[in-house]
Each structure stands twice: as C-alpha cells, then as structure tokens.
Amino acid sequence: SPELNDEILQAPWNTTRAYLGAIKGKYLMQVFGIGAKTIHKTK
C-alpha cells in the first residue's frame, strides 16, 4: 500500500542513513512528500 511505503521511507533508520550520507557528500538529499515541511525561507 502507498501509506506503508511512505512509512518505510520515513523510518528513522532510513532517513538517518540518507542524512549521514548527505552530510558526508556521498548523496544529495531532497525532502518531499508527507514528511516535508511546507515553510520556505528566501534570502
């Protein structure tokens, strides 16, 4: 089901692994979907 897939993608072990890879420069990370914040800051 799509809801279950969203829960798996946002699981702490999955998001932490992606985040750590992103800060080490191994991956690019884009947050979107039901877990994304809707507030955008502009400079």
Per-residue pLDDT of the chain in tens (43 residues, 90 and over written 9): 677 777 777 777 667 777 788 888 887 767 666 666 655 555 5
pLDDT of residue 35: 60
The residue type found at 32 is F
How many CB atoms within 10 Å of residue 35? 11
What six digits make up the tokens of 40?
């955008």
pLDDT of residue 17: 77
